[in-house]
């Protein structure tokens, strides 16, 4: 009795091993059929075991057979799978991706249409990174797949990734202009086009940051993009490109933005008035606006204060933009004054000699000092010295790091510039008077005679 029971247990165990081995072989055959797209192999497997596809959903494979077929584009095989098990279209793999994710990423339009016909809700499935099939289609630049996905479920365009990145931001980050055009033309809503991420960046900010010239031009050609949108850092698209390294592409983008009416954030100051935000623009730019700006009563004083702050800010920005040019200018003036002090007009005596008045002139001393000791020379040296000191003072102010937004420092800078230019001009006038032949000519013979006598002595 015991021996018979042992034999039955052994037979059952062998049968289980055989069944497990058979199941594994059928799983491998199903996998190979999915890779090859063999519909006949699938039919044969289903004839042998109608539960083959049901078991495939609980096997250790990373993907279902439909995932493999969708990834490789085996449309007929995918249709055969769907006819036996339609709910396999909603299955996800270990990365949370549906078969539609794989079909969209690989650009299989017909496969995507077939899956969407099974269940359009597949469009809304997100993988472990939060990406829908539409995101993968846009990132890979598959415009036709993108069109079919948007047509099936338009609301999928509103899905955002981490940091609030919209589908338009994704298309720009991956430089997919074709997909961007298709999305804009399909939705045609200003709110969609001007949507912001968590950092306040619109798609125009992103395209400008990445220096995508064609994308920027396309966005500006439409009439729905908000050209002067300010991001979370207080920058418009024009500010972004001005902070980028200067090259040909950035200059072209800046020109395109300027032609579209883009402004810098410092020229757009928000004024809060009971849930209303009105931009206050510099007077020089208001002149070009046809419609007058209507201001409600009681806001005149605050507008004046804002205008004063704007002017002060513009002065500071002007100084920052022209600091290098000022340094070059005053450096040249200081060098000229220094050289003029060492080598005044008319030059210096080349050797020891007597001048026409009989005075001894040492080599290396100024001829102008000998000829005009009480007239032009003292004035020349005074004006030249003032010009030199004033120009060096400007250099000190510019490199000292003082807060130039303070009025006192701006006033000192302007006074120093005025003194430098004025006394450099006076120095030039004195030089012209000295070298111009408007005075009586010297007695050349007397000068030569005095020189000879000096040498004899």
H helices of 85-202, where?
99-105, 109-118, 133-140, 143-152, 167-173, 177-187, 190-193
Do 183 and 222 form a contact (C-beta atoms < 8 A)? Answer: no
Task: Answer positive or negative: Cα dihedral of 417, 418, 423, 425.
Answer: positive
Asked which of 130, 159, 188 is the last residue of a domain, the reply is: 159
User: In this structure, what CATH number is given to the domain that contains residue 48?
Assistant: 1.25.40.20
Do 174 and 208 form a contact (C-beta atoms < 8 A)? Answer: no
Q: Examine the pLDDT at 149 and tell me if it is beyond 90.
A: yes
Output the six-digit token pair for 20.
Answer: 């497990």
CA dihedral 423, 428, 433, 435 (to 10 degrees): 140
Do 384 and 341 form a contact (C-beta atoms < 8 A)? Answer: yes
- Determine the pLDDT at residue 16: 58
Q: Examine the pLDDT at 282 and tell me if it is beyond 50.
A: no
**128-138: pLDDT as tens digits:** 999 999 999 99
Distance from C-alpha of 280 to C-alpha of 266, rounded to nearest angstrom: 10
Query: Of the segments 25-29, 249-253, 356-360, 382-386, which one has the largest average pLDDT value?
Result: 249-253
Which residues, listed in sequence order, are joined to residue 182 by a DSSP beta bridge? none
Query: Of the segments 10-14, 254-258, 265-269, 326-330, which one has the largest average pLDDT value?
Result: 254-258
DSSP letter (8 states) at residue 281: -
Distance from C-alpha of 224 to C-alpha of 189, rounded to nearest angstrom: 8
- Determine the pLDDT at residue 241: 92
Q: Residue 50 falls within a domain, yes or no?
A: yes
Distance from C-alpha of 412 to C-alpha of 418, rounded to nearest angstrom: 10
Q: Which of 245, 250, 248, 168 is nearest to 206 (CA)?
A: 168
Q: Residue 340 falls within a domain, yes or no?
A: yes
Distance from C-alpha of 179 to C-alpha of 173, rounded to nearest angstrom: 12
- Determine the pLDDT at residue 255: 93
How high does pLDDT run on average in the chain?
A: 77
Start-to-end C-alpha separation, the chain: 155
- Determine the pLDDT at residue 449: 44
Do 265 and 237 form a contact (C-beta atoms < 8 A)? Answer: no
**What number is the average pLDDT over the span 160-177?**
93
Q: Which residue has the higher pLDDT, 171 or 342?
A: 171
Helix or strand run (H / E) with residue 360 = strand 360-361
Q: How many domains does the chain have?
A: 2
Q: Say what percent of the chain tops pLDDT 70.
A: 71
- Determine the pLDDT at residue 318: 54
| Structural domain range at position 78 | 1-159
In the block, tokens 């070298």 appear at 435
User: In this structure, what CATH number is given to the domain that contains residue 450?
Assistant: 1.20.120
pLDDT band at 254 (very low <50, low <70, confident <90, very high): very high
Distance from C-alpha of 113 to C-alpha of 317, rounded to nearest angstrom: 56
Q: Within 13 Å of residue 454, how many CA atoms lie on the same side as its CB?
A: 18
Which residues, listed in sequence order, are joined to residue 277 by a DSSP beta bridge? 272
Q: Examine the pLDDT at 223 and tell me if it is beyond 70.
A: yes
Do 351 and 363 form a contact (C-beta atoms < 8 A)? Answer: yes
**395-442: pLDDT as tens digits:** 877 776 555 556 677 777 788 888 888 888 888 888 877 777 654 444
Q: Determine phi and psi for 437, rounding to 5 degrees.
A: -85, 60
Q: Which of 158, 164, 203, 202 is nearest to 181 (CA)?
A: 203
- Determine the pLDDT at residue 252: 93
Please state, in angstroms and as integers, the Cα–Cα distance from residue 435 to each residue in 181, 364, 372, 395, following that order: 72, 19, 12, 31
- Determine the pLDDT at residue 58: 57
- Determine the pLDDT at residue 335: 85
Q: Which residue has the higher pLDDT, 325 or 170?
A: 170
Q: Examine the pLDDT at 279 and tell me if it is beyond 50.
A: no
| Pairing state between β 353-354 and 277-280 | unpaired
DSSP letter (8 states) at residue 233: T
Q: Which of 119, 112, 126 is nearest to 160 (CA)?
A: 126
Distance from C-alpha of 126 to C-alpha of 320, rounded to nearest angstrom: 49
**367-404: pLDDT as tens digits:** 777 677 777 888 888 888 888 888 888 887 777 655 55
Q: Which residue has the higher pLDDT, 107 or 357?
A: 107
pLDDT band at 342 (very low <50, low <70, confident <90, very high): confident
**What number is the average pLDDT over the span 227-244?**
91
**What number is the average pLDDT over the span 85-97?**
90
- Determine the pLDDT at residue 446: 47
Output the six-digit token pair for 337.
Answer: 């004054």
Q: Which residue has the higher pLDDT, 424 or 115?
A: 115
In the block, tokens 């002149």 appear at 287
Q: Residue 448 falls within a domain, yes or no?
A: yes
Distance from C-alpha of 80 to C-alpha of 268, rounded to nearest angstrom: 61
Do 25 and 47 form a contact (C-beta atoms < 8 A)? Answer: no
DSSP letter (8 states) at residue 307: H
Output the six-digit token pair for 164.
Answer: 């609030």
Q: Examine the pLDDT at 266 and tell me if it is beyond 50.
A: yes
- Determine the pLDDT at residue 393: 82
Please state, in angstroms and as integers, the Cα–Cα distance from residue 399 to each residue in 24, 314, 323, 324, 358, following that order: 79, 20, 9, 10, 50
Compute the C-alpha angle 386/380/388, nearest 5°. 25
**What number is the average pLDDT over the span 351-369?**
69
Asked which of 159, 185, 215 is the last residue of a domain, the reply is: 159
Q: Which residue has the higher pLDDT, 353 or 396?
A: 396
Q: Residue 33 falls within a domain, yes or no?
A: yes
Q: Which residue has the higher pLDDT, 445 or 368?
A: 368
Q: Examine the pLDDT at 156 and tell me if it is beyond 80.
A: yes
Asked which of 101, 125, 159 is the last residue of a domain, the reply is: 159
- Determine the pLDDT at residue 296: 38
Characterise 399 by phi-psi region: left (phi > 0), alpha (psi -120 to 50), beta (else). alpha
**What number is the average pLDDT over the span 62-83?**
91
If one counts every other C-beta atom within 10 angstroms of the C-beta of residue 61, the result is 17
Helix or strand run (H / E) with residue 208 = helix 203-209
Q: Residue 221 falls within a domain, yes or no?
A: no
**174-218: pLDDT as tens digits:** 999 999 999 999 888 889 999 999 999 999 999 999 999 999 999
| Helix and strand numbers, DSSP H then E, in the chain | 22, 4
């Amino acid at each position: 009795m015991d021996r018979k029971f042992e034999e039955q247990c052994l037979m059952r165990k062998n049968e289980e091993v055989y069944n497990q081995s058979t199941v594994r072989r059928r799983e491998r055959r199903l996998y190979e059929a999915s890779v090859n797209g063999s519909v006949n192999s699938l039919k044969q497997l289903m004839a042998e075991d109608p539960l083959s596809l049901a078991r495939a959903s609980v096997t250790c494979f990373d993907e279902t057979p439909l995932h493999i077929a969708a990834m490789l584009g085996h449309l007929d095989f995918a249709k055969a799978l769907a006819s036996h098990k339609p709910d396999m279209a909603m299955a996800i793999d270990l990365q949370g991706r549906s078969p539609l994710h794989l079909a969209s990423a690989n650009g299989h339009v017909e496969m995507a249409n077939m899956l969407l016909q099974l269940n359009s809700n597949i469009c809304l499935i997100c993988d472990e990174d939060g990406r829908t099939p539409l995101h993968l289609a846009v990132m890979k630049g598959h415009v036709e797949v993108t069109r079919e996905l948007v047509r099936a479920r338009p609301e999928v365009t509103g899905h955002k990734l981490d940091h609030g990145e919209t589908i338009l931001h994704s298309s720009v980050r991956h430089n997919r202009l074709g997909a961007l055009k298709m999305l804009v033309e399909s939705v045609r809503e200003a709110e969609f086009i001007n949507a912001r991420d968590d950092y306040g960046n619109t798609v125009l900010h992103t395209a400008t940051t990445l220096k995508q010239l064609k994308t920027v031009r396309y966005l500006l050609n439409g009439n729905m993009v908000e050209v002067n949108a300010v991001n979370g850092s207080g920058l418009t698209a024009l500010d972004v490109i001005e902070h980028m390294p200067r090259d040909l592409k950035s200059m072209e983008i800046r020109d395109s933005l300027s032609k579209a009416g883009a402004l810098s954030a410092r020229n757009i100051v928000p004024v809060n008035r009971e849930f209303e935000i009105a931009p206050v623009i510099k007077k020089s730019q208001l002149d070009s606006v046809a419609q007058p700006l209507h201001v409600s009563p009681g806001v005149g004083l605050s507008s004046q204060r804002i205008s004063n702050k704007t002017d002060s800010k513009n002065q500071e920005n002007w100084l920052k933009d022209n600091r290098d040019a000022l340094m070059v200018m005053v450096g040249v003036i200081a060098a000229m004054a220094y050289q003029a002090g060492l080598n005044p007009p008319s030059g210096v005596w080349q050797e020891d000699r007597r001048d026409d008045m009989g005075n001894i002139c040492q080599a290396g001393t100024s001829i102008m000092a000998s000829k005009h000791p009480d007239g032009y020379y003292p004035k020349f040296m005074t004006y030249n010295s003032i010009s030199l000191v004033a120009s060096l003072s400007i250099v000190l102010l510019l490199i000292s790091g003082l807060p130039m937004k303070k009025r006192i420092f701006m006033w000192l800078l302007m006074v120093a510039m005025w003194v430098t230019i004025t006394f450099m001009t006076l120095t030039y006038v004195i030089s012209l008077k000295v070298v111009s032949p408007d005075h009586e000519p010297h007695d050349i013979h007397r000068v030569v005679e005095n020189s000879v006598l000096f040498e004899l002595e």
